[in-house]
Amino acid sequence: MANYVTKESLFEIQSITNPILAPNEKEALYIRTQLNEKENNYNAHLFHIDLETGESTQWTYGNERVSSPQWSPDGKQVAFLVKRNEKQQLYILNSRGGEAQELTTLPNGVNSYLWSPCGEKLWITSTVKKGLGITEQEEKEEKKVPKAYVVDKMKYKADSVGLLPQERYSQIAKVDLATKEVSAFTEGDYSHSLQGISHDGKTLVIAVNRTENTDDIFRTPLFLVDVETKEEAVLIDEDGYYGGAEFSSDDRYIAFGGSDHTYKNATHGHVYIYDTETKTTQKLTEMLDVPVGDYAVADIQQGVDAPTVIWTENNDLYFQVSTEGDIRLYYATLEGAIYPASPENEHVYGYAVFKNGNRALITVSNPTFPGELFDFDITTGERKQLTTFNAEFLESTTLSTPEAISYTAKDGITVHGWIMKPAQYTEGEKYPFIVEVHGGPHTLYANTFFHEMQLLAAKGYGVLYVNPRGSHGYSQEFVDGVRGKYGEGDYEDIMAGVDYVLQHYAWIDESRLGITGGSYGGFMTNWVVGHTNRFKAAVTQRSISNWISFYGVSDIGYYFSEWQMLADMNDVEKLWHHSPLKYAANVETPLLILHSERDFRCPIEQAEQLYITLKRMGKEVGFVRFPECDHNLSRTGIPNLRLERLEQITGWFEKYL
C-alpha cells in the first residue's frame, strides 16, 4: 500500500546543508539537521565525507545544533559553533579524530568567527556590555526582578529577538589557538561584524555603522582594516545592504554581494568587485536583470549558510542567482562574461567550488527531492550523489509532481507558477483546489521541495502556487511592480492564474476553491476574501490586516510602510485603502486566522483586529494563537506547533471544501 506525505513526515525528512571543502580538496564537511520529536526541537550534526571513497562519518552527536563549520588553513583541524552549556561557544576538533575541545568560554558566547590564514589564531565576534571587556562577566543579580525598558529609538525590537538588548554591542576579538587567550580588537559603542579576511592575513573586512541613531539609516559600511595598525579604508559606504567579502587568490580583488537602495528593499542583489590596486569598484552583474542570491521560500532546509561568492585560482567567480523559479549556480569572469553553470528546474541552496573552477560540491533540491549533497563536474554537467539521507522517505512515499505553468495576466505580463494534482489523482474525478501565496513579497516560489504543498496534495487537494508581480527571480521592473499598489496588479495576477487553471484543467472543482498564505501571503489572503467570493474557504497566516496600525507596531513598520506602500501616517487614506480590514463587511468566505504570539514582524494585533471585526459582523471566522513562536513558525518553529499549524490548515479546508 502506498504511503503519502503526512504532517509527521517533517520528522522523517532530513536537511543536508553547508558543504565545506577541505584545503586538500579530498574531503569535506556538511551538516545534517533533523527535527527531534522527543525533545521537541532541532538537532544539527557535523558530518565528514571522504571524496575519494564517498564514505560519510558523523562527527558530532547529542541533543544540540552545530553551525558554521570551517577547516583550519592546514586542514588538520575543524572549528564550529555549538551551545553545549549556557552560551554558544567556539569548538575545535582534530580532523583525524578525538573529542572536540572548547576554545572559548566567553560570558556572552561567540556569534561568528574566521580562521586567520596563519592557522594560529581565529577572529571572533561576541556581544559585550558597554563599559566591560570582552571576557568580563556581567554582575549577576541576586534575584530576578522585572526591569523597565526605556525606549528612545524606533528600531528597538526585532522579530525572533524581541526587545533589543540595550548598551550591548558586537565586538571583534582574536583568539590564540595555543593559549586560548582572547584579545579585543574593536571598541566603541557600535556593533561590528566580520565579513572577510585576506589570504595573507593582513587585512580584515569588517562592517560597522558608527551613527549614533540608526532609525533612518539603512546602510552598514564595509571597511578594510589593517590587522597590525587598525587603520581603516572604506570599501563601500552607501545606502543598501552589502556583505560577504571574499578576496581573490592573489588578494588583488575583493568580491562582495549587495543591493543598493534605488528600489528600497526590492532592489536586485548584485556582485561587486573592488580592485585594491586601482581603488575602484565595479558592479560585475550589472547586465544581469535577475537577482544574485537565493530568494526561494520553502519549509525543509534548515540553517542554510551559502557563500555570497567564491573565487577560483584563476580569478573567475561563482555565485547563486534566483531566476524564473530556479536557484542556479552562475559563473563569471572579471571581464564580465556571465552564464549559468548548473541546470534548470532545481534549487542549488549550498555550494563549494574546487580551486580550478571545474568541479563543485552542491546541495540540491527539486520539487520531488528534499535535497542531498552532490559532486558536480561543472565542465561536463555530470554529477554523483554523495548522500542518501532522504532515500528511505522517497522510496516509501508517493509524491505529487508539480507541473510548471505560465500565463498572461490582465495587463499582458507573463506570470510563472506551478500546479499540483492530488497525490491520489484518478482520471475523470473532480477535486477541491487550494491556492498558496508566498510571503515577502520580494521572495519566490522555486523548483524546490515544499512539505506543505505535498501535504495538501496528499490530503486530496490540487494546489496552485505562482510568482505574481513583486516576486523575485524576474526583472527589476517585475519585482518593483507591487510597491505602492498592494492588492492591485498582484491580486489580478493571482486571480488570472485561477482562471487559467480552471480553463485548462478539467479535474478542478470550481465550487471548492481555497486560498492560504503567510505574511504578505496572509495580507493577500485577507485582501482576496474582501474582494471576491470565489473561494469557499481561506486560511490567513501571520498576516497584515491594517496598514495604519502596522506602521507603529511592526519591528519594521515605519519604514517598510513608507517603502512598500509609499505612504506614512500623513496619508492614512492610502494606508487604509490598501488595508484588508477596510473590506471586512464584504467577507463571505469562512476565514481561519493563524498567528504567533511573539511575531514582531506582523504583530498578533493584526490578527486580533481582523478576528474581532469579522466575529462582531457575524462572519464565519476562527482564530488560533501559537505561543512562544515568532514570524517563522512554518519554517523554523517549535516542532509540535508546526504540526498543530498544519493540522489547523488541513482541518479548516476539510470542513469547508
Catalytic site positions: 519, 631
The three grid cell numbers given for residue 370, joined into one nine-digit string? 528534499
Amino acid at residue number 618: G
- State how far the Cα of 414 lies from the Cα of 209, in Å rounded to an integer: 41
The three grid cell numbers given for residue 546, joined into one nine-digit string? 491594517
The three grid cell numbers given for residue 505, joined into one nine-digit string? 484543467
Is the previous residue joined to 441 through a cis bond, with omega within 30 degrees of 0?
yes
Q: Are 353 and 345 in contact (CB under 8 A)?
A: no
- State how far the Cα of 461 lies from the Cα of 455, in Å rounded to an integer: 9
- State how far the Cα of 486 lies from the Cα of 469, in Å rounded to an integer: 10
- State how far the Cα of 122 lies from the Cα of 106, in Å rounded to an integer: 14
Picking from 599, 586, 603, 607, the residue whose alpha carbon sits closest to that of residue 635 is: 599
Please state the separation of Cα 266 from the chain's center in Å: 15
Give start and end residues of each alpha helix (H) in 141-288: none
Picking from 184, 266, 351, the residue whose alpha carbon sits closest to that of residue 560 is: 266
The three grid cell numbers given for residue 630, joined into one nine-digit string? 515568532
The three grid cell numbers given for residue 185, joined into one nine-digit string? 580588537
Q: Are 210 and 249 in contact (CB under 8 A)?
A: no
Beta bridge partners of 551: none
Angle at 488 between CA 645 and CA 477, to 5 degrees: 100
Picking from 643, 541, 536, 646, the residue whose alpha carbon sits closest to that of residue 592 is: 541
Q: Are 313 and 346 in contact (CB under 8 A)?
A: no
Residue with cell 555565485: 319
- State how far the Cα of 512 lies from the Cα of 515, in Å rounded to an integer: 10
Residue with cell 494534482: 421
Beta bridge partners of 417: 405, 466
For 239-290, list the strands marked E by DSSP.
Answer: 240-247, 253-260, 270-275, 280-283
Beta bridge partners of 116: none
